[in-house]
Amino acid sequence: MPGEHEPQASVWMAWPERTDNWRFGGKPAQVTFAKVAEAIAETTPVTMVVSAAQFENARNMLPNHIQLLEMSTDDSWMRDIGPSYVVNDNGERRGVDWHFNAWGGLIDGLYFPWDKDDAVARKVCEVLGDNSYRAPIVLEGGSIHVDGEGTLYTTEECLLHPSRNPDLSREQLEQVLGDYLSVEKVVWIPQGLYNDETNGHVDNLIHVVRPGEVVLTWCDDEQDPQYDISRRALDVLQTQKDAKGRTIKVHKMPMPGPLYISEDEAFGVDASDGMEREAGERLAGSYANYLISNQHIIYPLLDPAHDDEVATLLSALYPGYKVTGVDAREILLGGGNIHCITQQIPRV
């Protein structure tokens, strides 16, 4: 599986409209998704999938150079429902189609049914003319990060959660990941970001900058639950080697906020059994939830106290890259961020 820093042919997204997740029928989120798509499209072609009911609206809101494709989904988290791509030495590209159960199935999933989302990965591969493998485990794309050189990062909180693959041990999961992604080393971080409703996706806590180097969401407030989570993650990252035997270099990235849902924001969301969208609910905000796409960083603007500091850090970590910030609070209100709503297709 190539790293995100490697060349990409396109980035895929899905249009938001679910009323029990996105406030006011998804209208504010749609504006933000369009801005993210436009930013990515400066360096990489973007395909946006959209329901038949929203096709004309989306076409009107998106510039013509962003491809629009009718496809059924249950929500709009393309990172988790799209295919994870692998490439071989002959320049062939194939998609890995994981089982998707809405972040927890009937145990603690966020919605039901999820069958449309579960079919997306295979459909993307069909559209692109790529073969795909149906993997034998439940997994979301946001629960893994790879460096393109055999190392995979994940969290125990998510992959070992009883709502994913309760019959498989850590060793058995590592075997499946090795078989399907050709990774040689799995780095298990204990927990993801505090109050992350995905059971702690790794892409909301860290990002792989390049092989042997990561950023980690950092918190200096000893009273904040994230304080200990980040320190345990740092301990794991600094005491393990990657697949090539390198000591992992860790850069600390400030945590925004903490941020909370306001009364006005909660008011516009339909009631739901699975998702907490009530006033005062803490949001799992993280600057690590950015996208790398063809020498371009698209990162979320989340907190005026830290936005510029993060831009400076990213510019230093990625010399020569374009760095673009997009106001991403509307995505955060839905439970994720820029990395969560995008899925890159490697160039071969």
Using DSSP's 3-state secondary structure scheme, residue 340 falls into: coil
- CA distances in angstroms from 271 to 197, 217, 276, 293, 338, listed in the order given: 16, 31, 9, 36, 24
Give the whole-angstrom CA distance, residue 160 versus residue 172: 11
DSSP, residue by residue, 255-287: PP--EE--HHHHHTS---SS----TTPEE---T
Please say whether the beta carbons of 47 and 341 come within 8 A. no
DSSP helix, strand, coil percent of the chain (3-state; round to 5)? 30, 25, 45
In the block, tokens 């639950």 appear at 225
Give the whole-angstrom CA distance, residue 226 versus residue 230: 6
340 counts as catalytic? yes
Give the whole-angstrom CA distance, residue 121 versus residue 133: 10
Please say whether the beta carbons of 139 and 121 come within 8 A. no
Q: Which of 223, 220, 175, 198 is nearest to 289 (CA)?
A: 198
Give the whole-angstrom CA distance, residue 199 versus residue 223: 22
Please name every residue paired with 253 in a beta bridge, in sequence order, or none if there are none. Answer: 217
Give the length of the chain.
348
Using DSSP's 3-state secondary structure scheme, residue 126 falls into: helix
Please name every residue paired with 283 in a beta bridge, in sequence order, or none if there are none. Answer: 259
Out of 125, 158, 219, 340, pick the active-site residue. 340
145-170 core/surface letters (b: 16 or more CB in 10 A; e: else): bbbbbbbbbbbebbbbbebbbeebee
Omega of the bond leading into 225 within 30 degrees of 0 (cis)? no
Catalytic residues: 340
